[in-house]
Amino acid sequence: MFSEYPNVEARSAGLNNDAVDPLSPEHFEDIDLVFVMEKAHRSKLSRTYKAYLKSARVICLNIPDDFEYMQPELITRLKARVTPHLR
For the chain, the structural domain boundaries read 25-86
- Measured CA to CA, the distance from residue 78 to residue 36 in angstroms comes to 10
Mean pLDDT of 1-10: 85
pTM value is 0.88
Predicted local distance difference test score (pLDDT) of residue 43: 97
Q: What is the pLDDT of residue 81?
A: 96
β partners of residue 35: 59
Q: What is the pLDDT of residues 18-65, one digit of tens each?
A: 888 999 999 998 899 999 999 999 999 999 999 999 889 999 999 999
| 3-state secondary structure (DSSP) of residue 60 | strand
